[in-house]
Structure 1
Amino acid sequence: MSSTLDRRRLLQAAGAGAVAAVAPATEATPGPASLTPARSDIGVSAYAFALGRVRLGPSRWLDNQHRTLAYLRFVDAERLLYNFRANHRLSTNGATANGGWDAPAFPFRTHVQGHFLTAWAQAYAALGDTVCRDKADRMVTELAGCQANNSAAGFGAGYLAGFPESDFTALEAGTLTNGNVPYYCIHKTLTGLLDVWRHLGSTRARAVLLALAGWVDDRTKRLSAARMRAVLRTEFGGMNAVLTDLYQQTGDARWLAVAQRFDHAAVFDPLASNQDRLNGLHANTQVPQWIGAAREYKATGTTRYRDIAANAWNFCVGAHSYAIGGNSQAEHFRAPHAIAGHLTADTCELCNTHNMLTLTRELWQLNPGRVAYVDYYERALLNHVIGAQNPSDPHGHITYFTPLNPGGRRGRGPAWGGGTWSTDYQSFWCCQGTGVEAGTRLTDSVYFHNGTTLTVNLFLPSVLDWNQRGITVRQSTAYPASDTTALQVTGDVGGSWSMRIRIPAWTSGATIGVNGTAQNVTATPGTYATLTRSWTSGDTVTVRLPMRVATHAADDDADLAAITYGPAVLCGNYGDTALSAPPALDVASITRTSTTALAFTATADGRPVRLTPFHDAQGFNYAAYWRIGGRSAGNGTAERL
């Protein structure tokens, strides 16, 4: 988040195992498939399955999903409605106000509610959870009531927020000084309403959404181009993305015109010219705009939008990301390739990585032969997003930043915001909202299809119901603790069709077998291996992706590196010991000590240390980057990130 008020002062003032059989996540059946958009996306050649068509099996991913679902079922919708009701001059019905970023005096209160709407809708779509469906319906009903009282509250038709409309007047006049980022909040509400409409089929959500979008249109169309450019200097989330989505969903060109008012030339023009000017910019102000550019390309076919999104991804991943896939330090991009000097307690904001996963998915669907997109997606999802949730908390609370300083520890960071694990009602940071969204969409990028071709992108225990073809694919694996995954196909599998399997760039010597027989299939690292055959129900494809220890040097210091094994970043477990500098690691000493878990020992600073997967590094101080003295793993590679 960013605003016209110094962020740190604002937040200080606010107080701020083995292969397992797949089992269903809940007893409920998935909700209805999402509504079909009025317009198809341009340029797409890989198509997602509806959330409910893919189910997770026993794994860390499923554990995260369970904890997220428990919190979504627990959280009180009446408390989340408090600020909306109060602002729209309605009774708060005796509800208790929240604290943290949803406290009644916090400038951008009611930003998090849109995240909850999205997460509830996704939980119903993916798992058929009726408690979440009912919470979403309840909130939408009350939001409609807030809109209906706008005349009495002195607001324009369609307005919907927990803060007065006068904040937008001040924003437009250039006099907003209270720290609010009002369009950021509106973006979240619009997105949540859109997700409730398309995942739950709620016509009421559609009506509230269109009324609020109409208010945005009325508010922005009267501004001069110069004044609108000034408005865009204050963080506005992905307004271009959600309004383009609304255009695609409805087919009404009005919403594309509104979306394009939020094209931020100061950001888009350099990117369109393939210039990296990210240094010093607030990171999560930028990434949602890049998603918007990708969505605008898919809506219009204008290649400039595609170039903006693709160039932004290349810069962010290639020059501004840490080994775990996260980016930013103190919420801001630093100079290109500046990694070693920015290993601090406030690296890798969760919102940024979640949004980068969205951007990556959008771009990969345009270019589904580019394995680098999915290699990044896997790295960031596993090491950052999965690991940002507290596994010892039944509500799956998250950490805002993921520290990468020597002796860093999740849940311990800057006191001004996000320094500890989130809470049920006293935090509501942007990343907490991101966390509940992330925990309900974990299946959205495992499998894709195009005609008679099925693409397997991620390796995690799951069941795919390819209902269009009457085929079930059951994936069983302990990956990444194991280098092998098995994909059994059953059902109406007759005839010839293709399974396209990602071969990550980090592997070497990948093999593919069917029913125990090796297949003559090219499996070059960094490509897709395509297995085309006439199938029989029960056929099982076994994919082996050999893993090795590798060093990944920081771009700006060849002697400073992270250690990986396959897709997993490894870190040193230092318990409660404080570290003042990256330990000096003898890379050649790294030894795996288990065949069923990612457990290693090594020598660092002349003493033994245990290495564990970074995504499981909770509850102890760790080292994520090491002094390696220019040495690389004997059986691995030295790489730069």
Structure 2
Amino acid sequence: MLAGPAAALTTIATSPPDRVRRVAAVPMRHVRLKPSPFADAFAANQRYLLSLDPERLLHNFYLSAGLPAPKPVYEGWEAQGIAGHSLGHWLSACALVVANIGNTDIASRLDHALAEMARIQTAHGDGYLGGTTVERDGKQVDGKIVFEEVRRGDIRTQGFDLNGGWVPLYTWHKVHAGLLDAHALAANPRALPIAIGLAGYLAGVLEPLSDAQMQQVLRAEHGGLNDSYAETHALTGNPRWLRMAEKIRHKAVLDPLTAQVDRLEGLHANTQIPKLIGLARLHELTGNPNHATAARFFHDRVTHHHSYVIGGNSEREHFGAPDKLAKRVTEATCEACNSYNMLKLTRHLYSWEPNARWFDYYERVQLNHILAHQRPDTGQFVYFMPLSAGARRSYSTAEESFWCCVGSGMESHAKHADSIYWHDIGAGAAHTLYVNLYVPSTLDWTDRKLALDLDTQMPMEGAATLTIRRAPRVEQAIALRLPGWAQEPTIALNDRTITPTIRDGYAIVSRIWKPGDRLRVTMPMALRTEALPDDPSMVAFMQGPLVLAADLGPASQPFDGLGPALVAEGAVTGALRTATGAHRFTARSALGEPLEFKPFFAQYDRRTAVYLPTFTPSDWASAKDGYLRAQAERQSLARRTVDVAYLGEMQPERDHGFTATRSETVQLNGRSARKLRGGETLTLTLARRPGPAMLQVVYWGQDIDKRFDISIDGTPLATETRPGPRKPGFVAVDYPLRSAGEQGKAQATISFTGKQGDIDIYEVRMLTVSAGATSPPPVA
């Protein structure tokens, strides 16, 4: 996307919001989806929303207020300290559905939830409304204690916690945002008073803090709190909320972005994106150009330097070095929450600058990531979208998961109608309707006396037809997005090819429209490749807007083969042959196996390969032996791996019962780690199998002359001194373990105790030891 010009950090502008936003989405109440994959996803999502019981989502909220909980808590994350984040997303998703189609059943569920939330808030008496918990002295207690400690200036965080509570401010933001959506989208009168009470309680906690104390609080993940306070100001006009929105500025992240410096490497990706959404909203409310500069620069860096072919970003939830993706194509790429938030940010930026290229990105993500991450039959969701060869998607369950990506998934699939059509706003605005997404739908825009049908087989066919059903008797422009992937698109009016005005990526046709007029855009879809920026030989295939992937078999079967490679003389696309069916191709791998390429998003129950290494015939002749050896080593490591924990990353640590006497999360060398200092102890639990085993620990090769002890189940395993010499990159060190059969345990508790010097520990892996197995090579 287009980055904005640099702005002095001290510059403050006062342009009103209607000078910032030039276009807005047509309200969803005027839009209906026609049969399509988007409509299927929307329908499945409605079923899932109705299956959830708001009283179960409110379980901890009742207990926090001293009220009896009428229903049991859900399992998964909802049974943990983060409880409540799902409720916030559920409120927003329900509000989106009500705003779109007015589903009365969902509206009734939403109203009941809000009535109960009002009752709970009244019981507290101070505006507090929360369901988070925190462990104290081995017991789970009400998370309100964390907020009251912060009020007193007692602030402790290691990045994903606040005073030991699992991201309570992140959860608070979800509930606040859900209430605002229930007010603004579903027009429920109960919502805004609850949101104002919520905003007042937290403001009372944060307002007295010094800037240094506030920055310490903001080291903990806090979602889009700045956005929620900015929006509360927009709805109420109360300047207190605007001051709070500006106070919630995480300077360590936002100041470099404002100065247009990319320091994203090693940062937890989804922690950052909502901060920029908040800055975008603040720009709309204040006109401060610095907020816009940061938001535009961040979007440009993420989309052009940190993203994969499907438009998603991050690997194991973290940004790596810009343009360094080749070694980060794994089973844990592209967290769904990141794409959900990047699309929200894209909508803001587009509203300031209605250029079609913003929606080229939006369309890529919506088709190739968002549609892929929800099963259209069950409505369940995927956390990571794995891009490595042979990977499969792992879906949530209806009542046992409640990951962050389940919550954002509820919203993502409630809003397929919210960005199809846009229009000019502001005094003297032209009467232009922008068609940005080719999603089968109807528009019945009573305010403009305009009604039309949008018929298309997109994304399977590159053409769409608008048919006017009703139109005002004034001249009106229709702007059709000409996708960047379309080769020589054409426009026809009433079956006659015309030459429209082309501006900012749109074909614009202006006239007094009559019922029955047809406007058709034809968008040829060519086969092409996109290479990884740091390895041009690793390519993904696209046709039109769709990412293609090699089908490597059913997800229910293990993948034991080698990841496929292609050999081609000349253009790599020449290795693919057209097959029967839309967007289907066949090829022969470098080793002769038949391959079939199909749209990635729809391979819900298949193992796939998105990026494939490619060779010329001469290159393959010299590289074949090394390629086979490297693939075999990766296979061996995968087969031998019983369990693995990535330190410094929130969910892997929680999954493995990580504890520490005191430890700092660090992001160095493109990965997260835990810093172990002298006198400190880190402990985690890994699964293991009976028989001989190997503990493998990953360190940075430059970290030498350290001393620390490693023990297993309380028994000393090794005293590591990290002797020299220094080595480039990461190194993996193996420590043999005793037989699990002798110990009689299926799990092992691993402890690291620092003795001398600081050491960063990146990864701890439990391996089996097979006959003839050799240690894997150093981790790249």
The two structures have a TM-score, normalised by structure 1, of 0.87
Contact residue 143 and residue 160 of structure 1 kept, 8 A: no
Q: Distance in 1 between matches of 2:164 and 2:515?
A: 63
The 3-state SS of whatever aligns with 1:499 is strand
Is residue 2:84 matched to residue 1:110? yes
Give the match for residue 20 of structure 2. 43
Deviation at 1:166, TM superposition (A): 1.2
The match for 2:124 among 126, 150, 156 is 150
Question: Once the two structures are aligned, what percentage of the paired residues are identical?
Answer: 35
Report if aligned partners of 2:78, 2:86 keep a CA contact under 8 Å in 1: yes
Q: Alignment partner for residue 113 of structure 2, among 115, 134, 139?
A: 139
Q: Is the 8 A contact 2:117 2:129 kept in 1?
A: no
The yes-or-no answer on 1:583 pairing with 2:565 is yes
Q: Does 1:617 align with 2:617?
A: no
CA contact (8 A) 2:23 2:352 kept: yes
Contact persistence 2:563–2:609 (CA under 8 A): no
The gaps in structure 2 that reach 5 residues or longer are: 1-15, 134-142, 157-161, 425-429, 618-780
Within 5 Å, give how 1:423-572 maps onto structure 2.
423-450=397-424, 451-521=430-500, 527-572=505-550
Report the equivalent of 2:388. Answer: 405
Counting only pairs closer than 5 Å after superposition, residues 69-108 of structure 1 correspond to structure 2 as 69-93=46-70, 95-103=71-79, 106-108=80-82
Whether the aligned pair in 2 keeps the contact of 1:187 and 1:239 (CA below 8 Å) is yes
Distance 1:320 1:127 in 2: 36
- Deviation per CA, 1:260-318: give whole Å up to 9, x if none: 11111111111111110000000000000010010000000000000010000000001
Secondary structure of 1:621 counterpart: strand
Query: Residue deviations 1:481-527, cap 9 Å, x none?
Result: 11111111121343321111111111221100011100012558x71
- Structure 1 contact 158–208 (Cα < 8 Å) conserved: no
Shift of 1:159: 4.1
The Cα RMSD (Å) is 1.7
Aligned-pair distance for 1:582?
4.8
CA separation of 1:573/1:223 partners in 2, compared to 1, >3 Å: closer, same or farther?
A: same
What whole-Å deviation, never above 9, does each CA across 1:341-385 have from its counterpart, x for those lacking one? 10111110000000000001110110102x221111000110001
TM-score (norm 2): 0.71
CA contact (8 A) 1:562 1:569 kept: yes
Query: Which AA in structure 1 matches 2:518?
Result: T
Q: Which residue of 2 aligns with 1:381?
A: 366
Q: How far apart are 1:149 and its partner, in Å?
A: 1.4
* Whole-angstrom CA distance in 1 between matches of 2:210 and 2:104: 46
> Structure 1 pair 443/530, CA: closer, same or farther in 2 (3 Å)?
same
Aligned to 1:256: 242
Q: Given the alignment of the two structures, is residue 603 of structure 1 paired with residue 577 of structure 2, yes or no? A: no
Task: State the number of aligned residues.
Answer: 572
Q: Which residue of 2 aligns with 1:174?
A: 155
Distance in 2 separating the partners of 1:78 and 1:158: 18
Distance 1:604 1:570 in 2: 15
Which residue of the partner structure matches residue 667 of structure 2?
Answer: none
Alpha-carbon distance in 1 for matches of 2:522, 2:388: 34
Work out the CA distance in 1 between the residues paired with 2:374 and 2:593.
Answer: 30
Kindly indicate whether residue 251 of structure 2 is the aligned counterpart of residue 265 of structure 1.
Answer: yes
In the TM superposition, what is the alpha-carbon distance from 1:42 to its structure 2 partner? 4.4
**What's the offset of the Cα at 1:169?**
4.1
- After superposition, the Cα gap between the structure-2 partners of 1:579 and 1:279, relative to the gap in structure 1 and judged at 3 Å, is farther
Q: Which residue of 1 aligns with 2:621?
A: none
Higher strand share: 2
* Rounded Cα–Cα distance in structure 1 between residues aligned with 2:456 and 2:534: 37
Distance 2:575 2:452 in 1: 40
List alignment gaps of at least 5 residues for structure 1: 1-38, 412-420, 632-641
1:30-54 CA-partner distances (Å, limit 9, x unpaired)? xxxxxxxxx9554111121111111
**Structure 2 counterparts to residues 325-404 of structure 1, below 5 A:** 325-369=311-355, 371-393=356-378, 396-404=379-387
Q: Distance in 2 between matches of 1:437 and 1:454?
A: 25
For 2:600, the aligned partner's letter is F
1:454-502 deviation per Cα after TM superposition (whole angstroms, max 9, x unaligned) = 1010111011122222111211111121111111112134332111111
Please give the secondary structure, in 1, of the residue aligned with 2:267: coil
Query: Please, which of 151, 161, 170 is the counterpart of residue 131 of structure 2?
Result: 161
Structure 1 distance, partners of 2:180, 2:479, is: 32
Question: Which protein shows a greater Rg?
Answer: 2
| Cα distance change on mapping 1:157 and 1:532 into 2, 3 Å | closer
Q: What's 2:206 paired with? A: 220
Q: 1:292 matched to which residue of 2?
A: 278
Q: Distance in 1 between matches of 2:353 and 2:616?
A: 36
1:126 is aligned, of 100, 108, 125, to 100
What is the alpha-carbon distance in structure 1 between the residues aligned to residue 18 and residue 312 of structure 2? 28
Q: What secondary structure does 1:574 align onto? A: strand
Instruction: Report if aligned partners of 1:456, 1:502 keep a CA contact under 8 Å in 2.
Output: yes
CA contact 2:421–2:436 (8 Å) conserved in 1: yes
For the residue of structure 2 that corresponds to 1:149, the secondary structure is helix
Which moved further from structure 2: 345-354 or 468-477?
Answer: 468-477
- Describe the superposition over 1:95-135 as per-residue Cα deviations: whole angstroms up to 9, x where unpaired: 122111100xx121111100000111111111111111111
Seen in structure 2, the aligned counterparts of structure 1 residues 510 and 76 have a Cα distance that, compared at 3 Å, is: same
- Structure with the larger RCO, 1 or 2 (CA within 8 Å, 6+ apart): 1
**Does the CA-based 8 Å contact 1:406-1:579 persist in structure 2?**
no
